[in-house]
């Protein structure tokens, strides 16, 4: 399995993120998908920020297209997500393996904020995709969407696949929307 981290060339990945990946019970290789962009973009939705995020995420997709078939799944993980549960990715893999119509599994972190889930939004901070599905997502189609999360969700559903949203803070719980 492979983990793809989209970042701006002005950003860094903390040791905590890397340690969290190493602790996973599922072996993961890591590829950093760096593109020019803004340094601090959290909560800022400018045209430049969205364009930079789309470029970074499209680089992830292009990387996934070049992977061999032995990489069945692709973990898309934002640079500030720390997986403290060593079975987090394993839980996501088991969900994909047990449900053929499931295209991706997302983990919800919340970051201590009250965040409501609303249609058609699904956070893509930490998502495990079937590689063949992820390689078909096109982030250049951003027109008409306010964020890459909405774009991702609409394309997954257009391929007749489902998304499960697991609660990272409450192991074994699922968030339904």
Domain membership of residue 53 as a residue range: 2-167
How many separate domains does the chain show?
Answer: 1
Q: pLDDT tens across 93-118, in order?
A: 999 999 999 999 988 665 444 344 44
Under-70 pLDDT residues of the chain: 37-45, 108-123, 143-146, 168-177
**Does the model's pTM come out above 0.75?**
yes
In-domain check, residue 177: no
**Residue 100 confidence (pLDDT):** 92
**CATH number, position 66:** 3.90.550.10
Q: What whole-number distance in Å separates Cα of residue 68 and Cα of residue 71?
A: 6
In-domain check, residue 174: no
- What HEC string does the chain produce? CEEEEEEECCCCCCHHHHHHHHCCCCCCEEEEEEECCCCCCCCCCCHHHHHHHHHHHHHHHHHHHCCCCCCCEEEEECCCCCCCCCCHHHHHHHHHHHCCCEEEEEEECCCCCCCCCCCCCCCCCEEEEEHHHHCCCCHHHCCCCCCHHHHHHHHHHHCCCEEEEEECCCCCCECCC
């Amino acid at each position: 399995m492979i983990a793809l981290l989209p970042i701006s060339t002005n950003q860094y990945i903390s040791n905590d993120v890397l340690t969290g990946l190493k602790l996973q019970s599922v072996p993961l290789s890591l590829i950093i998908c760096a593109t020019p962009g803004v340094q601090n973009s959290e909560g800022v939705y400018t045209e430049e920020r969205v364009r930079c995020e789309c470029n970074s995420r499209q680089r992830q997709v292009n990387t996934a297209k070049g992977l061999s078939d032995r990489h069945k799944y692709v973990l898309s993980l934002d640079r500030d997500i720390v997986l403290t549960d060593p079975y987090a990715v394993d839980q996501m893999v088991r969900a994909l393996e047990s449900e053929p119509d499931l295209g991706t599994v997302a983990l919800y972190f919340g970051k201590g904020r009250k965040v409501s889930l609303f249609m058609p939004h699904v956070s893509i901070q930490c998502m495990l995709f079937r590689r063949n599905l992820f390689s078909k997502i096109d982030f250049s189609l951003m027109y008409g969407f306010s964020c890459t999360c909405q774009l991702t969700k609409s394309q997954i559903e257009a391929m007749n696949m489902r998304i499960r949203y697991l609660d990272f803070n409450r192991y074994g719980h699922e968030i339904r929307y």
